[in-house]
Every structure is written in structure tokens, then in C-alpha cells.
Amino acid sequence: MQRDIGMEFMAASNYPPETRTDEQKGLPRPESPDNSTGPDKITFKLPSPEDTVYSSHSVYGGSGGSCGCEDPAADPEGFGGPNGRRSLFEILRTRRSIRRYSAEEISAECLSYLLWASCGISGESDEFRTAPSAGAIHPVETSLSIQNCSWLPKKDGIWRYNPTEHELSLVAEGIDAVAGLGRACMMQPQVLRAPVVFFWTAKPYRAVWKYGTRGYRDIFLDAGHICQNLYLAGVDADIGVCAINAFADEAVKAQLRLPEDEVVVYAASCGHKRR
Ligand SMILES: Cc1cc2nc3c(=O)[nH]c(=O)nc-3n(C[C@H](O)[C@H](O)[C@H](O)COP(=O)(O)O)c2cc1C
């Protein structure tokens, strides 16, 4: 096989790294997550994921849930969906990429759940989240393109998620910013129409500091876990999700106002399914 740039990358990111990593050299760990909120930033505190309907996890609530299990002993893993919710089996069985959305907006409660489920903090520190991350480094950040949303201080705009505070901060306001991202995603109709589009970006040095060139691989693997979490939470919340990798990196980067040291990795459109 011809040794193209991809094969070069695979060889160059072999493990263990040939040279000592910056962590091994004693250089300071880069800051993560990126919680830089300036004093004038417009922010929106999301409802706590624990306070939303999505957090109901009394495993054998109601009449036994959608799996029909009346007896906890018959379902020791607790996969039976409580309170009429889908079981994990059912969520996995029915997950599909959904590209046709209605105009209905996604509620604050629902967006809170989708953000928390995809990459929110679930442990005693921000190292421990709903998605795993190599070395608990979490190089991936989440930005959102949101349009026509009545409950946010700005109805159209680009927002950045702060997992520590579980809040959004405004990056750019207006429909032009949202439309610019649609263009950057090759005018894919589901991106243009989606009420919310997730964009996952990364500061590679966070992973490279710990793992050398190998760290670049971790970024993509981490983003894949995050996106799958979003897909599964989407089925749970009856929200359609479609992963997106067809975009022009530099155009997305400009629209998201990313700093030089941050790259665009992955995206996903979300919305209520068009019936
Ligand atoms: C890494 C990745 C990139 C993708 N990029 C796009 C995309 O840019 N546009 C799109 O419409 N679907 C995209 N998809 C969705 C796939 O087309 C979809 O997963 C595939 O057709 C299988 O369908 P399913 O997800 O319903 O099982 C992507 C999926 C993955 C995993």
C-alpha cells in the first residue's frame, strides 16, 4: 500500500512515543476545561440535569417499565426502562441518524440533558464525565449553533458549553453566524434546518502534552464517544440526531471564533423529528 499522509500519521503516532512527552519533562498540565468567561460575556445557566424529567431513574418505577419487568431480580442490570422510558436495549435497537426536523424548538430542559449526557460532568471532579477520555484529559470542547430559540437571551447565535458550570456563554449573535456554519457544513439541509447543531472542537496540546503524537488519536476517539452519547440520549429524549463530518474546517473554525490552538473535530445536528 502506498504510504500516504494517513499511513504516515498512523506510524508517527505509534505507542509509546519515541520522545519523552511534555508531561514526562515536567511541563505544566494545560488547563481543561476551557472556562474562560469574560466579565461582559452573556451567559445562560442551564437547568440542572438532575432536576429534569430525563433524570428519573427509579429503575422499577410505575408498572414496571417498557420491558414489562415487575421483578427486579429478573432484570438485575436495570435495563428495563422505568416510567415508560425506553430500555437501553430499545435505545440501541432504534438509534438511527435523523435528518428531518420539525420547526419546534428544543427546550432548555432537553438541551441541558443532551449536553450533560454527551459530555457533562458526572463524577466528583471535571475529569469524570458521561463520556470517557484517555487519561481523563478531555481535550474536546462543545460549541452550539442555535436558531430560533425563545428561552435564550439571544434567539439565534453561537454558544460555548461550560461543563463545570453547566452553562452556555455567547460567542456570536445573529442568524448570519448560524447561516455561516450551515454554509461551512456544505449546505447540508439537516444542518441548515436543525434548531441546534453541536460542534466538537479540541485543543490538541492537552492530549499531546500527556501522550505525545499518540494524543491526536485520542481526540478523535473521545469525540466519537461524545457523539454516540448524544445519539443515545437523543433516542431517550425523542430528539433526532445526525453526525456530521462533512464540513470545511477553517470556515467552521472562523464561525465558532476559535483560537489558533483549537481545531474542529466533529459535529451533529439535532431536532424534534418531523412526523
Ligand atoms: C464519522 C461520521 C461522519 C458522518 N458524517 C455525516 C455527514 O456529514 N452528513 C450526514 O448526513 N451523515 C453523516 N453521518 C451519518 C452516517 O451517514 C450514518 O451514521 C450512516 O448512514 C448509518 O446510518 P445510521 O446512523 O442511521 O445507522 C456520519 C456518521 C459518522 C459516524
Q: How confident is the model at residue 39 (pLDDT cuts 50, 70, 90)?
A: low
Is the pLDDT at 10 greater than 50? The verdict is yes
Task: Check pocket membership of 242 for ligand 1, CB cut-off 6 A.
Answer: yes
Task: Check pocket membership of 184 for ligand 1, CB cut-off 6 A.
Answer: no
Which residues constitute the domain of residue 183?
Answer: 41-272
The helix/strand count (H/E) of the chain reads as 8, 7
Task: Give 243 Cα–ligand 1 centroid separation in angstroms.
Answer: 5
CATH number of residue 242's parent domain: 3.40.109.10
pLDDT of residue 105: 95
If you search the block for the grid coordinates 459535529, which residue do you land on? Answer: 267
Task: Check pocket membership of 96 for ligand 1, CB cut-off 6 A.
Answer: yes
Q: Percentage of the chain surpassing pLDDT 90?
A: 79
pLDDT of residue 66: 37
Q: Domain for residue 174, yes or no?
A: yes
Q: What's the chain's Rg over C-alpha atoms?
A: 20
**For the chain, what is the domain count?**
1
Q: Domain for residue 19, yes or no?
A: no
Q: Domain for residue 127, yes or no?
A: yes
DSSP 193-262: H-SEEEEEEE-HHHHHHHHTTHHHHHHHHHHHHHHHHHHHHHHHHTEEEEEE--S-HHHHHHHTT--TT-
Q: Domain for residue 12, yes or no?
A: no
Q: Domain for residue 112, yes or no?
A: yes
pLDDT of residue 18: 82
Q: Domain for residue 24, yes or no?
A: no
pLDDT tens string 185-209 = 999 999 999 999 999 999 999 999 9
Task: Check pocket membership of 185 for ligand 1, CB cut-off 6 A.
Answer: no
Task: Give 99 Cα–ligand 1 centroid separation in angstroms.
Answer: 10
Choosing from 242, 247, 265, 266 the residue with most ligand 1 atoms within 8 A of its CB, the one to mutate for a pocket test is 242
Q: Domain for residue 7, yes or no?
A: no
Q: Domain for residue 27, yes or no?
A: no
pLDDT tens string 68-112 = 444 555 555 455 566 667 899 999 999 999 999 999 999 999 999
End-to-end Cα, the chain, rounded Å: 47
Supply the pTM of this predicted model.
Answer: 0.91
Task: Check pocket membership of 93 for ligand 1, CB cut-off 6 A.
Answer: no
